Structure 1
């Protein structure tokens, strides 16, 4: 099993009783088998069960125990690739459709949360996307025009307006409305429980070690313990472990990112409406607050796949993130209480991999590469549901594994 993070995680400690499911201990037959119990697998399973399909969720560890535990829980419709750049990359129609799908995904998560009996820390938020330098300002204004022209709820703030609302000044920023923040661990754990109540068969500690297709087209999965799952459709929702996939993904890379969570701050009065904050620099700093007046800060991405094990180096990264936070909010004094680093994936065209394996019928991938993995998971759940049910969806070609944009990067 690939190691996805190291350090002291914050989210698992916020959950009381967790969903505990048995390991697969008998042979079963379902319409859809979902491999992976993180954000992608849980949302897919929930949407598919709600659509009337029989579904088995197969997780070799614990549900929500992988990358979900290291997710910072920022839900934004804007992406690592600006809309204006995505228009140049894949065309105006498809780029705007993708951004609108991201916006709709935030709303769908909102609707899903309302079905749950447990508070998962979901709060609607706006975002401040500021220019890291004066040189970034023209591009930021171009991005604002692209968003505004295509109907997204955005504002452009100059330096004076930023300084009026925050204890720092930047040359300019886009404010996007309609984003959100969430406790990803509580969300995935609770969502999986809700799906089980609705009929999902969920199995933890079930490692799928073999996958073959029978002559009749049915897929046969075998666990390490020797039990078998027959399924008409199989969805791989296993996060950042592409080397395990039969359909070799191309032009994707794995990197690592760092995050800290502070202690409870005495006051966040100077943090305007608890905006989510990020910047134009790459790699970028990003920050949010939580329900307990803690601050979550992430960034310092490195082009190294393996999580960092050196405690002193981890501390240096944590101190740098903390200093960057205090350069914007000097009144925040509560120290770092949690720190970790984690693997994350990026595709070279900045889009996720969602869809059917071009060489393997009825085998699908739900891989949310990029900074918007949680948003991509919701998009994927509905796209894959449509594909399984034979419903046409124009967005499918934009995120397909064999999409044309991959050949141009």
Structure 2
């Protein structure tokens, strides 16, 4: 199984392996089989269980040990594709639906995390800064379109950025009032523990090697020969789902991140309740952790090779450090420990949730790709539940494979 990360992600180092889940050792029958025990599979399992469905969750690794542990978990309604660009690709109504849905997802995530203090869910603002003057005109158009559709945003000029945040070398920014952050790793463990107490079977270290459909049944087999029979299968295996789908719907990329030591520097006190990211592509992004560290990421590239990704990590850390120094030169941005992870990116920045003609109506793919994986996943959980129940969801067409000709 390919390693989706290099180095030592903060969440897993900080929390270890909180709970042990047993491998699957006997044949079993379930209504819905969920492949992938990361945060996406977990959110889907919660949605289905709350609706009265029976689910079994299985993963080839330890729980949350893939992309979930490498996620920096900046939770935003703003997606990697600006609303203005999405409107050009599709139409304005589609762009507004995409953004408003992600805004609603923040409320859904907050409600899910309300009973899980380990998740450290925290509301925040989102500061989208112009990396250079060439970005200002496009950002002003973005601001205008969002305001037309009642998003709570405001324009900040360079003087505002200096006075309020101590930020240098940025001509302007869009400040959004609605964003959040969380610990996705602890959330996943705590949520799966809660699901197990409700009778949901959770198994890790149980690699699925085949999934076949026979009429109204799906048969999945582990590498040790154990069989799972289900009415539906949901593939929530992150980037690996591309291989299982067999159709290239996204490109695998690498992102690089690190955390500093805990800091009480008053210059960056505002980061406790404000996320920051920039207009450049690839973009820099940063947030604070519950223990006061700064988490910094970016330098995304097209590398999809574990050895090369690991080799590039030290140089990319220096680039990230220099970028932070560029905007906030008086603060110490020395890395404490670092990691890199694989993620998948679609051409329009939107995810894919649903079935594909190649695999039939009983196998559902949950591909929360792009920079909004967690917010996409809680919305995708509702889309997939609707499909299983024979209903269409408001977001079914927006997240369907058909929208980009991949069906």
Question: Which TM-score band (shorter chain)?
Answer: over 0.9
Superposition pairs for residues 108-147 of structure 1, below 5 Å? 108-116=108-116, 118-147=117-146
- Displacement of 1:143 in angstroms is 0.5
Q: Alpha carbon RMSD of aligned pairs, Å?
A: 1.7
CA contact (8 A) 2:325 2:333 kept: no
Residue in 1 that maps onto 2:61? 61
Q: Matches of 1:167 and 1:301 in 2, distance apart? A: 26
Mean Cα displacement is larger for which, 137-146 or 321-330?
321-330
Superposition pairs for residues 81-100 of structure 1, below 5 Å? 81-100=81-100
Deviations 1:340-389 (A, max 9, x none): 11111111122111111223121100011111111111111111111111
Matched, 1:263 2:290: no
- Displacement of 1:243 in angstroms is 4.7
Q: Matches of 1:128 and 1:96 in 2, distance apart? A: 20
Deviations 1:74-113 (A, max 9, x none): 0000000001111111212222111111111111110000
Residue in 2 that maps onto 1:248? 246
TM-score by length of 2: 0.95
Superposition pairs for residues 1-400 of structure 1, below 5 Å? 1-15=1-15, 18-116=18-116, 118-169=117-168, 170-215=170-215, 217-245=216-244, 247-272=245-270, 274=272, 275-308=274-307, 313-333=312-332, 335-359=334-358, 360-400=360-400
Mean Cα displacement is larger for which, 12-21 or 281-290?
12-21
Q: Matches of 2:201 and 2:296 in 1, distance apart? A: 36
Deviations 1:196-254 (A, max 9, x none): 12221111111111211123x11111111211111111100000014531x43334111
- Displacement of 1:16 in angstroms is 5.9
CA contact (8 A) 2:30 2:55 kept: yes
- Displacement of 1:310 in angstroms is 7.4
CA contact (8 A) 1:33 1:235 kept: yes
User: Tell me, what secondary structure is at the counterpart of 1:14?
Assistant: helix
How many residues align structurally? 403
CA contact (8 A) 1:38 1:63 kept: yes
- Give ranges in structure 2 of 5+ residues lacking alignment: none
CA contact (8 A) 1:260 1:296 kept: yes
Mean Cα displacement is larger for which, 324-333 or 355-364?
324-333
User: Tell me, what secondary structure is at the counterpart of 1:322?
Assistant: helix
Deviations 1:288-334 (A, max 9, x none): 11121110110111111123557664222112211211222233226
